[in-house]
Amino acid sequence: MNPAHLETLNERQRSAVVHGIGSDAENVNRPLLIIAGAGSGKTNTLAHRVAHLIVNGVDPRRILLMTFSRRAASEMSRRVERICRKVLGNDAGVLTDALTWAGTFHGIGARILRDYAYEIGLDPGFTIHDREDSADLMNLMRHDLGLSKMESRFPTKGTCLAIYSRTVNSETPLGEVLRQAYPWCATWEKELKALFSAYVEAKQAQNVLDYDDLLLYWAQTVGDPELAAEIGGRFDHVLVDEYQDTNRLQSSILMAMKPGGCGLTVVGDDAQSIYSFRAATIRNILDFPASFDPPADIITLDRNYRSTQPILAAANGVIDLARERFTKNLWTERQSEDRPRLVTVRDEAEQANYIVEQILENRERGLTLKDQAVLFRTSSHSGPLEIELTRRNIPFVKFGGLKFLDAAHVKDLLAALRFAQNPRDKVAGFRLMQLLPGVGPQTASKILDAIAADPHPLAALAEIPPPPRTGDDWGKFVDMLSEMGRGGWPGEIEIARLWYEPHLDRLHDDAETRKADLLQLGQIASGYGSRERFLTELTLDPPDATSDQAGVPLLDEDYLILSTIHSAKGQEWKSVFMLNCVDGCIPSDLSVGTTAEIEEERRLLYVAMTRAKDSLHLTVPQRFFTYGQNAQGDRHVYAARTRFIPATLLQFFETATWPVAQPSAPGTRDARQIRLDVGARMRGMWN
Ligand code: ATP
Ligand code: MG
């Protein structure tokens, strides 16, 4: 008989859970790869494995669990607790609370680096730059080196950052990255080299780390065999979900921490690898077994528990056309009559209408909004739908789009906290100082450089004579910073907020709404133990935007999920809508260069389709609007159904056109009119 907490698993899943633990002494601590398709229970198996470790007496503080997002990590911790409860009863909570090392690669990296900063000559007070801050710093360097004024167009700050990031993450020389992925920038190799050196120096001088640095410095730390043994020795078990989306640097960190693979478990699906633009490589998964001697054990799973048979058949059809694949097709016992629907609509407005109508119908049938999600290839694709949802008062949360933290006022307040934390952080200082009337970029830059050279930058700032035309504002600014130093956490966020509000009133017409956001930020902040922890966590995994722009959603509220496919990874919903299933959107116009890029777009569609449990709708607008992506700028284009669903796959779908064209006989209203009336009635429900 199986122990209570393993009863729900199938045999293969169970063997993955118990591998090398407890009575499975034969395999004790041998490295394990679980490779399997979507919805086959990989994440569920991993959660059971963690629970099984805890039940078998492994100290949860010695388990390192790495997931794709912080959301996934906390979901996993909750699952682990539920499973443990079956065996341990109420003691489970105490034990799983000690599962403190669950998070993203970057988040875990930041924590480890704070502990070992001195060992590698880093100041542990470092602040972390998000992608936008990094691009801003790259831009400052571009200006400093005079590259922004070159005759022919030098790559934008975003492109520069992407090239830089790819170079460090793939551990490939710049020249090769340019030739492979950015051929149109290859003439700038010399300038880019100079720019990247300046960027690296600036980060060091300012004691800031960007996302890539968290991995780079971590790799450097464990590059020292003694430190590697010490850090690796803190964990008896290291488990990684979504391993197909890790890059070389990440796998080299794992290998350095656990050279023999002892206690290492990785889980992934090559058919869902969608992060090659961040240098992720499925070689990590494929090469994993042979990285050890003897090689790692491999367990595959092939039963899908998520989707109905028709949905799975269609998804399998799409991925079958891929050039390269390692995992086999999945099967399911979930029978259903409903094939996924492939619906042609006139344009994006009709598409939004169609989706909203279906969502409301589903709701009539008893689904909540949270049971449903709308997915898209690129964040901007959801624009018309967001307008329609707002118009109809349907609350939604958008993953992977504009973040709460991207709002200017939220960034301003965070800049104050960051500057107090690390006055050498020039991007934060630059943003903050220019809020003061009378301070322009040149003055700000001069002051920041001057204080950065002082061992006590904030004291040096207080000594600087007020720049001309700043009036009282200068004094108030300096006072705010010194008060913050004495304010303690989370009180200091209040100090910053009170200082900032008059500027907010001066700068924005909608100051009141923005003030509400800042109050909310204060509330979020109070949940963190320290300023440093708050800034780190928030920068690495910011809350998502909501329909009312009031920050994070209330948890008891029912809302629809809008998400890019990338951010939908690992998740599932009863009903899934995928919009803009047309060539140009998926595959994206920007990714039709190489076969590898097109293959990745195919996997993206596969990931999207395999999120659905019971119902799946793919919509194909006949026309859609491009936002300045083409040389011609914004324009309407006529679209064709995505090449990933060729005619040979249509058998897997129920095809339809919407609105349904019906001859309108006298005395009857056409179908569209009736549908709109239904919509109007439902609007009443929402208001
Ligand atoms: P993805 O590749 O999308 O990340 P996954 O392989 O991680 O998927 P899970 O998310 O773990 O799959 O599981 C998919 C669904 O199947 C979940 O709802 C999970 O609860 C369910 N499931 C997994 N294993 C079983 C099982 N043995 N019995 C019943 N349901 C299961
Ligand atoms: Mg998963």
- Residue 346 placed within a domain: yes
What separation in Å is there between the alpha carbon of 414 and the centre of ligand 2?
Answer: 33
Average pLDDT over residues 95-100: 89
Q: Look up residue 683 and give its two tokens.
A: 């609007």
**Which of 206, 227, 242 corresponds to the end of one domain?**
206
For 588-647, write each residue's pLDDT tens digit: 887 767 888 899 999 999 999 999 999 999 999 998 776 544 455 566 778 899 999 999
- Residue 150 placed within a domain: yes
What integer pLDDT is reported at residue 91 of this predicted model? 87
Average pLDDT over residues 209-230: 94
Give the ligand at the shortest distance from the Cα of 10: 1
For 187-197, write each residue's pLDDT tens digit: 999 999 999 99
Asked if 627 contacts 633 with a C-beta cutoff of 8 angstroms, the reply is: no
What integer pLDDT is reported at residue 26 of this predicted model? 77
3-state per-residue secondary structure call for 629-658: EECCEEEEEECCECCCCCHHHHHHCEEEEE
What integer pLDDT is reported at residue 679 of this predicted model? 33
What integer pLDDT is reported at residue 64 of this predicted model? 97
How large a percentage of the chain has pLDDT more than 70? Answer: 90
Q: Is the pLDDT of residue 542 over 70?
A: no
Q: Where are the beta strands (DSSP E) in 122-221?
A: 127-129, 208-210
236 and 150 belong to one structural domain: no
Kindly state the DSSP code that residue 465 receives in the 8-state scheme: P
Could you tell me if residue 628 is left (phi over 0), alpha (psi between -120 and 50 degrees) or otherwise beta? Answer: left
517 and 448 belong to one structural domain: yes
Q: Is the dihedral of CA 639, 644, 646, 650 positive or negative?
A: negative
What integer pLDDT is reported at residue 555 of this predicted model? 46
Q: For residue 411, how many C-alpha atoms fall within 13 Å in the half-sphere facing its CB?
A: 17
Average pLDDT over residues 113-141: 91
Kindly indicate the confidence band of residue 200, based on its pLDDT and cuts at 50, 70 and 90.
Answer: very high
Q: Is the pLDDT of residue 677 over 50?
A: no
- Residue 4 placed within a domain: no
Structure-model confidence comparison of residues 273 and 70, the more confident one: 273
Average the pLDDT over each of 192-196, 405-409, 422-426 and give the range with the smallest value.
Answer: 405-409
What integer pLDDT is reported at residue 641 of this predicted model? 96
388 and 414 belong to one structural domain: no
- Report the nearest atom of ligand 1 relative to the CA of 47: 11
- Residue 271 placed within a domain: yes
What integer pLDDT is reported at residue 460 of this predicted model? 94
What integer pLDDT is reported at residue 592 of this predicted model? 67
- Residue 559 placed within a domain: yes
Which position has the token pair 């966590």? Answer: 537
**Which of 189, 206, 223 corresponds to the end of one domain?**
206
420 and 521 belong to one structural domain: yes
Q: Is the pLDDT of residue 206 over 60?
A: yes
What separation in Å is there between the alpha carbon of 39 and the centre of ligand 2?
Answer: 7
Kindly indicate the confidence band of residue 513, based on its pLDDT and cuts at 50, 70 and 90.
Answer: confident
Rounded CA gap, 235 and 256, in Å? 13
- Residue 668 placed within a domain: no
pTM of the prediction? 0.84
477 and 418 belong to one structural domain: yes
Give the CATH number, domain containing residue 254.
Answer: 3.40.50.300
Kindly state the DSSP code that residue 592 receives in the 8-state scheme: -
Closest Cα to atom 26 of ligand 1? 9
Rounded CA gap, 76 and 48, in Å? 10
Structural domain of 411: 404-540
What integer pLDDT is reported at residue 683 of this predicted model? 34
- Residue 670 placed within a domain: no
Average pLDDT over residues 554-579: 88
What integer pLDDT is reported at residue 548 of this predicted model? 47
What integer pLDDT is reported at residue 10 of this predicted model? 96
Closest Cα to atom 23 of ligand 1? 41
Rounded CA gap, 13 and 41, in Å? 8
Count the domains in the chain: 4
Q: What is the ipTM of this complex?
A: 0.99
Q: Is the pLDDT of residue 665 over 60?
A: no
What integer pLDDT is reported at residue 681 of this predicted model? 32
Measured at the alpha carbon of residue 299, what is the angle toward residues 295 and 303, in degrees to the nearest 5?
160
Average pLDDT over residues 542-571: 71
Asked if 181 contacts 166 with a C-beta cutoff of 8 angstroms, the reply is: yes
485 and 627 belong to one structural domain: no
Give the CA distances from residue 474 to residues 159, 469, 554, in Å, rounded to whole numbers and listed in that order: 36, 9, 38
Average the pLDDT over each of 10-19, 369-378, 579-588, 666-675 and give the range with the smallest value.
Answer: 666-675
Give the ligand at the shortest distance from the Cα of 609: 1
Cα 287 to the chain's mean position, in Å? 25
Q: Is the pLDDT of residue 571 over 50?
A: yes
Q: Is the pLDDT of residue 444 over 50?
A: yes
28 and 99 belong to one structural domain: yes
Contacts of residue 405, Cβ cutoff 8 Å, sequence gap at least 6: 130, 411, 414, 538, 539, 542, 543
Rounded CA gap, 636 and 621, in Å? 11
What separation in Å is there between the alpha carbon of 322 and the centre of ligand 1?
Answer: 23
The one-letter amino acid code at 423 reads: P
**Which of 206, 240, 266 corresponds to the end of one domain?**
206
Contacts of residue 219, Cβ cutoff 8 Å, sequence gap at least 6: 249, 252, 253, 256
Count of helices and strands (H, E) across the chain: 26, 18
518 and 571 belong to one structural domain: no
Rounded CA gap, 257 and 215, in Å? 13
392 and 443 belong to one structural domain: no
Q: Is the pLDDT of residue 170 over 90?
A: no
395 and 413 belong to one structural domain: no
Q: Which of 44, 46, 328, 331 to mutate to test the pocket of ligand 1 (most atoms within 8 A of CB)?
A: 44
Residues contacting ligand 1 via CB (< 6 Å): 8-10, 13, 36, 38-44, 269, 272, 305-306, 570, 572, 610
Q: Residue 15 CB: number of other CB atoms within 10 A?
A: 17
What integer pLDDT is reported at residue 595 of this predicted model? 86
- Residue 420 placed within a domain: yes
Closest Cα to atom 8 of ligand 1? 39
What integer pLDDT is reported at residue 151 of this predicted model? 63
575 and 531 belong to one structural domain: no
417 and 519 belong to one structural domain: yes
Considering just the CA atoms, what is the radius of gyration of the chain in Å?
27
Binding site as annotated, residues for ATP = 36-43
Strands 102-104 and 237-240: unpaired
Asked if 557 contacts 350 with a C-beta cutoff of 8 angstroms, the reply is: no
Q: Is the pLDDT of residue 569 over 60?
A: yes
The one-letter amino acid code at 100 reads: T
Rounded CA gap, 400 and 547, in Å? 14
What integer pLDDT is reported at residue 549 of this predicted model? 41
Share the mean pLDDT of the chain. 87
Q: Look up residue 654 and give its two tokens.
A: 């129920």
Rounded CA gap, 278 and 267, in Å? 19
Average pLDDT over residues 199-218: 93
Average the pLDDT over each of 167-181, 204-218, 624-638, 661-675 and give the range with the smallest value.
Answer: 661-675
What integer pLDDT is reported at residue 671 of this predicted model? 40
Backbone angles phi, psi at 424, to 5 degrees: -90, -10
Q: Is the pLDDT of residue 401 over 70?
A: no
What integer pLDDT is reported at residue 181 of this predicted model? 85
Rounded CA gap, 137 and 171, in Å? 22
Q: Is the pLDDT of residue 266 over 60?
A: yes
- Report the nearest atom of ligand 1 relative to the CA of 301: 6
Structure-model confidence comparison of residues 259 and 326, the more confident one: 259
Average pLDDT over residues 232-249: 95
What integer pLDDT is reported at residue 529 of this predicted model? 83
Average pLDDT over residues 203-218: 93
Asked if 559 contacts 396 with a C-beta cutoff of 8 angstroms, the reply is: yes
For 484-507, write each residue's pLDDT tens digit: 888 788 889 999 999 999 999 988
Q: Is the pLDDT of residue 341 over 90?
A: yes
Rounded CA gap, 313 and 307, in Å? 10
